[in-house]
Amino acid sequence: MLSFADQVHFRHVYDCLETAYEAHLDAFGAQYGYLSEDDYNDMADQLGFVEEQPLIEFEGAIPFNSYRAAFAAQEEVWLANGGDPEFGPDASNRFEDDLEATLMNSDGAVMIGGVIHLTTADGRVIEFCSCAMYERYLLDPASVDPNDPCVTFHKNLYYGNGACCRSYQMDKGGDEYDQGSRKITWTLLFEYNNTWDVSRTFAKIRHWRWRNGRWKARSAEMLAQVPGTYSTVDCREGGTCNASKEKKRRTLKATYWHWQPQTIITFKTGEANGYWEYPQGNTLSHSLQFPC
């Protein structure tokens, strides 16, 4: 797994990856962005353009098996067999952010400041003070005593909630259009993330095209936004979040980061929103709902 000196180092590498990734995609868009959607994607296929190339090169330079690569391989098998992307492996993806997934090993773990952070399949973060304890957990989770001082089991979903607030909530969905030949899948998530030690909210949208008997991720002009009003852990209003991104992409996400360590923000029902626009004049908006 990768090892980082501290949270600042971890975020710095993430930012560098994001810069390289966006520059790679923007350069291709600047050269061929005038083309229609189909011609743009056909040109990418003809030239062998790989959107994830900066991430692949990063993984190869280490080298190590990232969660992103492992998940991409699993998803490709699903799609190659005619599977619907809305109901495939993405339903249990531990990391909605491909850049974050690139920094995690195939088990979903990373070391920061000498502490191993493992994100489990149900979204829980577990911290281990040693590789031996981490490996022991992987072999037999039941053998690890949750009271062991070397292990910290962070609370599961809905960490740090007030009566009618949530610090973790995620919804996923999809929408077929253009007579079933095109599809978008979307995710709206807010969370306090123990690995990052920050709160964040993001909306992600992916665009798909049915071609040659399977769904394929295809670039299109899309917009993603995350407007909302966040609260403190006692459900008092704390401020607004707002991030927006509009690009020609296969996958597009807009992320609001609340860069205050050890500060958990929550959202009341209906106050965390996602907004998406995608081709053919289609729009979609969604508010996270949950019972008090």
Between residues 155 and 257, the one the model is more confident about: 257
Q: Sort strands 251-258 and 198-211 into parallel, antiparallel or unpaired.
A: antiparallel
**Element counts in the chain: helices (H) and strands (E):** 6, 18
pLDDT for 163: 62
Q: What digits encode the pLDDT tens for the residues 29-84?
A: 999 999 999 999 999 999 999 999 999 999 999 888 999 999 999 999 999 999 99
pLDDT at 276 over 90: yes
Name the residue ranges covered by the structural domains of the chain. Answer: 3-107+160-287
This prediction has a pTM of 0.92
pLDDT for position 232: 81
pLDDT, averaged across the chain? 91
Q: Tokens 């090993």 map to which residue?
A: 105
**pLDDT score, position 227:** 94
Average pLDDT, integer, range 128-157: 89
**Mind listing the pLDDT tens digit for each residue in 155-211?**
655 555 556 788 888 899 999 999 889 999 999 999 888 888 888 999 999 999 999
> What pLDDT sits at residue 10?
96
Q: What is the pLDDT of residue 132?
A: 95
Residue for token digits 């990418």?
44
What does the pLDDT read at residue 13? 97
Average pLDDT of the segment spanning 100-111: 96
For the chain, give the percent of residues with pLDDT over 70: 97
Whole-number CA gyration radius for the chain: 20
Q: Which pLDDT score, from 0 to 100, does residue 101 have?
A: 96
Q: What is the pLDDT of residue 231?
A: 87
* Other Cβ atoms within 10 Å of 207 Cβ, number: 24
- Nearest CA to 284 out of 172, 208, 190, 209 is that of 172
pLDDT at 162: 58
Give all strands (DSSP E) within the chain, no chain letters.
3-4, 109-112, 115-119, 125-128, 151-153, 165-166, 168-177, 182-193, 198-211, 214-217, 220-225, 228-231, 237-241, 244-249, 251-258, 267-268, 273-278, 282-287
Higher pLDDT, 281 or 222: 222
Instruction: Judge whether residue 262 has pLDDT over 80.
Output: no
Query: To which residue do tokens 């991430």 refer?
Result: 55
- Are the C-beta atoms of 244 and 140 separated by less than 8 Å? no
Q: With CA atoms as reference, report the closest residue to 100 among 18, 187, 199, 200.
A: 18
At 264 the pLDDT is 83
Residue 234 reports pLDDT greater than 90: no
CA 31 – CA 125 distance, rounded (Å): 42
pLDDT at 157: 53
Whether the link from the prior residue into 141 is cis, omega within 30° of 0, is no
* Spatial distance between the Cα atoms of 68 and 50, rounded to a whole number of angstroms: 15
